Structure 1
Amino acid sequence: MTTQNLLVELFVEELPPKALNKLGAAFSNVLAEQLKAQGLAAADAVVTAFASPRRLAAHVTGVLAQGADKAVQQKLMPVAVGLDAAGNATPALLKKLQALGADVSDPAAAVAALKRAPDGKAEALFYDSIVKGASLQAGLQKALEEALAKLPIPKVMQYQLETDCELPGWSSVNFVRPAHSLIALHGFTVVPVKALGLTAGNSTQGHRFEAQVSPVVLPHADQYDEVLKREGSVIASFAERRAEIVRQLNAAAAKVGNGARPIDDEALLDEVTALVERPNVLTCQFETEFLGVPQECLILTMKANQKYFPLIDASGKLTNRFLVVSNISPDDASLVIGGNERVVRPRLADAKFFFDQDRKKTLESRVEGLSKVVYHNKLGTQGERMARVCAIAKAIGQQVGGDALAQQAEQAARLAKTDLLTDMVGEFPELQGIMGGYYARHDGLSTEVAEAIEDHYKPRFAGDDLPRNNVGLVVALADKLETLVGMFGIGNVPTGDKDPFALRRHALGVVRMLVEARLELNFFELTRQALTVFPAAVVQDKSVELDEFLVERLRGYFREAGFSIAEVDAAIFAQKLGHWSSIPARLQAVRAFAALPESPALAAANKRIGNILKKAGEVDAHVNPALLKEDAEKNLHAVMQKLLPESEAQFKAGDYTASLQTLAALRAPVDAFFDDVMVNAEEMDLRLNRQGLLKSLHVAMNRVADLSRLAA
């Protein structure tokens, strides 16, 4: 059968920019999957998605005009139901065959054409038939309806469409935006499918202002992007349009010089790509006096409100130039440039005004106002929350750095939320913490405290930096612990994919700070310490559940780093682990140990020892050499006397890899012990002595990691 490439385009009014790329991918993927499922396209057919502000399109290679006929076998019913005692067809069987379109004029011949095959404990009748392949029109109609139904539409709108029948009237259509035309081209041929009240043709509209012709007529499915670009002045491919914007942004920045480069923001780039059909990057500027405002404020207002790309210099400082991605390319761009400069000026002036006004009051003077801001109806005000974070920060600071750090951490925690009451943060909530740092410096506070106020929300997301100094680490840790303990304590626990208070992100932040900053703090003690700052009547003690939640985030963190589940569990479930800062070194030791030939046998032995000791109950790690009777247990004890002190010394020195590798020499004596020695001997003194020997060995083997987790 011959094939042709297929092009389907839906032309609509401006689509939601933040969802455009996802809509384009979903439309093309579902359309192609449905065509493949109906046998109209091969499994390896190439699918190309197109998405611009006013169109969704898909190009599929190798599509058949008529699907191949397929042999289908259908189960009818058990033989006992379909045939009587004489082997003749029952009325139920004949009715079923008739419903399937089979010829039942000769019942005996109809029965003879059936097949019998085992079906569970009984035998069943099966009917073989040939199903005619789907026509392209019918198959594409079904595929198109499915593709539109499965679009991840953020919000559906309803609009009226004039009917195309003889009687005048209007029909209601539900879709993300009003649709105006539909294309379905199979090679040169139009496939007359219908969707959203439209019948497919071979024409569409180009750029609103710069199209060369209207409408744009497509002669062939393979000429879609070429004709649309040439005659319609539209780059239909999202990826191509995005790449063109990047190219123009970099070229425009290079012309500015001084190492200027556009701000790096993938989300902004995607959104702007979804707003223009044929991009034209222009360079604009604003008055240098606005550079006295914190650059984060200026960058945010230009990106969020105007979709501009601010330019920063080689040192990372904001310049007074910015780039605009225009949707038109006039011969004289001065009016477009001037218009964008006029639009941004009031925004920057507002930011400057807020900054000047906010600095008239100190952060300390705003502390009292926190008591008037509700944090949570069950957990009180921001003032009450601030007091709790202060208490936690002071206690952690004392453990990490003594009185000096405790005092600085308490001060930073007291002021960390005060920028919520400033005009700048009221206008730009994304700047909370950042503005607090600027205002703290203006108030003459120390660099450590100012940076801690700025950083106390960190890490905000996966891959974000940790706070820059110990004061910031302590306050950030206290802030996240207060949130976790409080929310768990009132029952706001994440379920499934729902996590409205971002508790998983907070927990991962705690994990990262304890591990990456090498804070020698016991997470078990931290959660209980944080619980003490809450009134007993406000929250319940959910420490056990919170511990499990944190450990699960810890396991996920190291699995993301490339370690196996067995390696991670071996490291984090070591005996008397203490603090998490040692886990990376333990993991490296576990990986090195697992590569040794002795590893599987020792891991299995360790698991066996653990089971023996678990059944024995409380066992004293003490060995009486006089009670060692068998050669195998004497030999194991002698080797342990030599190797265990060496391994312990390496452990105390922090050389976990060497500590485990030293124990690898125990494989042979351990194997011999289990081959030749009965641990649970009838004589109680022998039994206890052998259990004590195994207890000593178990403690030593699990000091770095729980090696039993490596057992298959």
Structure 2
Amino acid sequence: MTTKNLLVELFVEELPPKALKKLGDAFAGTLADQLKALGLAGADSVVTAYASPRRLAAHVTHVWLKAADKAVQQKLMPVTVGLDASGNATPALLKKLQALGADVSNPAAAVAALKRAPDGKAEALFYDSLVTGATLDTGLQKALEEAIAKLPIPKVMSYQLETDCELPGWSSVNFVRPAHGLVALHGSTVVPVKALGLTAGNSTQGHRFEAKVAKVVIKDADSYAATLQQDGAVIASFAERRAEIARQLAAAAAQVGNGVRPIEDDALLDEVTALVERPNVLVCEFEKQFLDVPQECLILTMKANQKYFPLLDATGKLTHQFLVVSNISPSDASAVIGGNERVVRPRLADAKFFFDQDRKKTLESRVEGLGKVVYHNKLGTQGERVERVRAIARAIAQQLGGEALAKAADTAARLAKTDLLTDMVGEFPELQGIMGGYYARHDGLGDEVANAIEDHYKPRFAGDDLPRNNVGLVVALADKLETLVGMFGIGNLPTGDKDPFALRRHALGVIRMLAEKDLPLDLNALLAGAVPAFGDKINDATPALAEFIYDRLAGSLREQGYSAQEVEAVLALQPQRLGDVTKRLAAVRAFAALPEAAALAAANKRISNILKKAGDVDAHVSDVLLKEQAEKDLYAALKSVVPQANAQFEAGDYTASLQTLAALRAPVDAFFDDVMVNAEELDLRLNRQGLLKSLHDAMNRVADLSRLAA
């Protein structure tokens, strides 16, 4: 049976731009999966998704007009239930066969057609039938309905369709946007499917203004994209349209010259791709006087409000030119350029006004106002929160740098949230911290405090930079710890995919700062030290919070390429200095490569089980109670090897420490071969358990090596 390629397009009004790519991929993917499940498309069929502002489409290769018939064997019931003592069909069997569509007019013949075979418990009756393969008409109808039903629609809207019946009336349709056209072509043949009140045909609409024809007729499935581009002035493929925009952006920047480049923003590029059908990049500019405003403000207003691409010079500084991705390509683009320049000017003027107004008040003068801003109904105002952050920051700074660092950190913490009360941050919340840094410099507070205020939200996302100086590092740590300890203290924990206070991100931020800066701070002490700042507002939930942080750390380490065994072995000990974790992991990996590793890990697991059953064991060994030569040899080896391993451990050379301990393999193996640990004599048993406890303590300072056992 020959196959043809299939094209399905749903033509609609403008789709939500931020959801377009996901909608296009989901529509095409579900449609193809359903066709494959029905046997109308094979495993080698290739699906291509198309998504433009006004259409979702899918092209599927090698689609059959009819699926192959399929032989199906169905278990009916045990023989003892289906047949009586004489071998005749019981009423239960006849009823079952009738439900399956079998001819039961001759019960004896019906029974003869059945197969008998064991099903693992007893002999059962099986019915063979031939299921007729689905036709493309019915199969595509089902697949299309499923593809529409499973679309990840952000918000459904309802609209009315006029009915085709003799009596006039309206029917209600629920979809992401009103649909106006449906195309379904198998090769060049229209498949008569229906959806959203539409019947499939072979024509669609092109660009609103630049299509060559009002009705774009698609000759066959394979000519869809080319015909739509040629006659409809639409690039149907999201990926091709995105690549074309990126190409034009680079070309326009090169035409401007002087090493300028468009700002890199994948999310903005995706959104603009979802807004245009035929991209045309144009160069625009604004008055240079606006460059006196912090460039973050100008960039944000151009990107967020206008979907423009600002141009940066070779040093990363904003220029007075920007790029617009237009949806039309007039012969004279001056009107389009002028219109965009007029539109952006009031936005930039607003930013300049906010910046000028904000600088009329110092950050210090805004501190009192934080006491009127509610942070959380159980945790008080932003003013109260600031006081907690200050207390936590001072304590951390005293440990890291003494009184000088504590004083600078206190100043930065007191002012860090004041920019929340500025007009600029009120308009653009994304600029919190950044604007605080600008205003701090304007107030003459110096770069150290200004940078700390700007950086105290860092790291804001995965891969973000850490704070630039120790003051910023201290305040950022204090800020994230206040959030974590406070939210855990009132039981406001993340659940599933819901994390409204970004506690997972805050935990990863704490981990990164402690680990990457190798700070000499113990995690449990750090968490416990933050609790008193809350007074009686919270319960102490630091054990659960520590577990939460170690879970985040484990996930992060696995993403970095460490194995689950390595991570479990190190984090089982919950090391307090997170800067040590990667060194411990490296030591564990090096140890695991040693020939002695497997035997020592297995022995360590065995020792752990023995000690667990024994209960509270004292790591004490009496020489006079060592009877067997193997236990004497093990004790001697411990006295010889452990001091050196401990010295290496204390010096932070974890790899050398574990490699030194590898010398214990032979005496450990001999001990378990020759010595009965649980001897009948109590003193011998306790002594041998003490020997194993000493061994266990020595072996597991870097990591729990039993986790490496197969």
TM range (shorter): over 0.9
**Equivalent residue number for residue 556 of structure 2:** 557
Q: CA deviation at 1:89?
A: 2.5
| Residues 93 and 632 of structure 1, relative CA distance in 2, 3 Å threshold | closer
Task: Quote how far apart the aligned CAs of 1:48 are.
Answer: 0.3
Moved more, 690-699 or 459-468: 690-699
Aligned equivalents of 2:676, 2:107: Cα separation in 1? 77
**Offset of residue 9 of structure 1:** 0.4
Give the Å deviation of 1:160. 1.2
State the match for 2:611 in structure 1.
Answer: 613
Alignment CA distance shift 1:377-1:86 (3 Å): same
Partner residue, 1:646:
644
Task: Verify: 1:35 aligned to 2:48, yes or no.
Answer: no
Report the Cα offset of residue 672 of structure 1: 0.9
Once the two structures are TM-superposed, the CA of residue 255 in structure 1 deviates from its matched residue by 1.2
| Map of 2:299 onto structure 1 | 299
Task: Tell me which moved more, 617-626 or 409-418.
Answer: 617-626
2:231 maps to 231
**Residue 656 (structure 1) aligned to one of 647, 651, 654:** 654
Amino acid at match of 2:606: R
Which of the residues 629, 632, 656 maps onto 2:630?
632
1:456-467 equivalences under 5 Å are: 456-467=456-467
* Residue matched to 2:688: 690
Deviation at 1:87, TM superposition (A): 2.2
Deviates more, 1:113-122 or 1:399-408: 113-122
2:246 paired with 1:246: yes
How much has 1:446 moved relative to structure 2?
2.6
- The CA deviation at 1:485 is 1.2
Q: Which moved more, 1:353-362 or 1:499-508?
A: 499-508
Aligned pair count reads 710
AA aligned to 2:190 is: V
For 2:445 and 2:6, locate their aligned partners in 1 and report how far apart those are by CA, in whole Å: 67
Give the aligned residue type for 2:549: L
Q: Which residue of 1 aligns with 2:570?
A: 571
Structure 2 partner of 1:79: 79
CA distance in 2, matches of 1:627, 1:388: 57
The structure 1 segments of at least 4 consecutive aligned residues displaced by more than 6 Å after TM superposition are none
The residue aligned with 1:493 is: 493
Question: What whole-Å deviation, never above 9, does each CA across 1:31-68 have from its counterpart, x for those lacking one?
Answer: 01111111100012000000000000000000011111
Distance 2:84 2:679 in 1: 72
- Provide the rounded CA distance (Å) in 2 between the counterparts of 1:525 and 1:310: 46
Instruction: Give me the whole-angstrom Cα distance separating, in 2, the residues matched to 1:630 and 1:99.
Output: 77
Q: For the residues of structure 2 that align with 1:184 and 1:689, how far apart are their CA atoms? A: 82
Paired-residue identity, %: 79
1:570 is matched by which residue type in structure 2? Answer: A
Matches within 5 A, 1:143-542: 143-536=143-536, 538-542=537-541
- CA deviation vs aligned residue, 1:297-356 (integer Å, no higher than 9, x gap): 000000000000001111111111110000000000010001000000000000001001
Q: Determine the structure 2 residue equivalent to 1:130.
A: 130
In 2, Cα distance between equivalents of 1:623 and 1:101: 81
Task: Name which of 672, 675, 688 aligns with 1:674.
Answer: 672
Structure 1 residue 658 displacement after superposition: 1.1
Deviations 1:635-657 (A, max 9, x none): 22333333222222222222111
Q: 1:532 is paired with a residue of what secondary structure?
A: helix
Q: What's the secondary structure of 1:533's corresponding residue?
A: helix
Which amino acid in structure 1 is aligned with residue 641 of structure 2?
L
Rate the CA distance shift 1:453–1:126 in 2: closer, same or farther, 3 A: same
Shift of 1:682: 4.3
Q: Residue 109 of structure 1 corresponds to which residue in structure 2?
A: 109
| SS in structure 1 of the partner of residue 219 of structure 2 | coil
Q: What CA distance in whole angstroms lies between the structure 2 residues aligned with 1:626 and 1:280?
A: 91
Q: Secondary structure at the match of 2:534?
A: coil
Deviates more, 1:498-507 or 1:677-686: 677-686
Which shows bigger deviation, 42-51 or 652-661? 652-661
Aligned-pair distance for 1:615? 4.0
* Helix, strand or coil at the partner of 1:171: strand
**Which residue is equivalent to 1:604?**
602
Give distance in 1, aligned partners of 2:138 and 2:96.
Answer: 26
Aligned-pair CA distance for 1:120:
5.6
**AA in 1 matched with 2:557:** F
SS at match of 2:9: strand
Structure 2 CA distance for aligned equivalents of residues 561 and 430 of structure 1: 29
Partner SS, residue 281 of structure 2: strand
CA RMSD between the two structures:
1.6
Q: What is the CA deviation profile of residues 332-382 of structure 1, one whole-angstrom value per residue up to 9, with x for unaligned ones?
A: 001000100000000000000100110111111100000000001111100
The whole-number CA distance in structure 1 between the counterparts of 2:308 and 2:71 is: 59
Q: Which residue of 2 aligns with 1:544?
A: 543
Q: Deviations over 1:244-270 (max 9, x none)?
A: 000000111111112211111111000
Deviations, residues 609-643 of structure 1 (Å, cap 9, x unaligned): 33333444444444444543332223223333332
Q: Could you tell me which runs of 5 or more consecutive residues in structure 2 were left unpaired when the two chains were aligned.
A: none
The answer for the alignment partner of 1:701 in structure 2 is: 699
Which stretch shows the higher mean deviation, 702-711 or 293-302?
702-711
How far does residue 408 in structure 1 lie from its aligned partner after superposition? 1.2
Read off the aligned partner of 1:552 and give its amino acid letter. Answer: D
SS of the equivalent of 1:259 reads: coil
Write the distance in 1 (CA, Å) between the matches of 2:99 and 2:76.
11
* SS of 2:482 mapped into structure 1: helix
Matches of 1:626 and 1:87 in 2, distance apart? 82
Partner secondary structure for residue 533 of structure 2: coil
* Residues 1:628 and 1:91: Cα distance change in structure 2 (over 3 Å): closer
Change (3 A) 1:184 1:671: same
CA pair 410-226 structure 1, distance change in 2 beyond 3 A: same
Aligned residue type for 1:276: V
TM-score normalized by structure 1? 0.97
Which stretch shifts more, 6-15 or 119-128? 119-128
Q: Please give the alpha-carbon distance, in whole angstroms, between the structure 1 residues aligned to 2:635 and 2:670.
A: 12
State the alpha-carbon separation in 2 of the partners of residues 113 and 695 from structure 1.
Answer: 71
CA distance in 1 between partners of 2:292 and 2:553 (Å) = 42
Give the equivalent residue in structure 2 for 1:90: 90
What SS is found at the alignment partner of 1:314?
coil
Distance apart, 1:684 and its partner CA: 4.7
Amino acid at match of 1:265: D
Using the TM superposition, name which of 671-680 and 460-469 deviates more: 671-680
Could you tell me which amino acid in structure 1 is paired with residue 248 of structure 2? Q
Equivalent residue letter for 1:6: L
The structural deviation recorded for 1:675 is 1.4
| Structure 2: distance between partners of 1:705 and 1:102 | 67
TM norm structure 2: 0.97
Indicate yes or no: 2:587 matched with 1:589: yes
Tell me which moved more, 526-535 or 83-92: 83-92
Of residues 513-522 and 235-244 in structure 1, the stretch that sits farther from structure 2 once superposed is 513-522
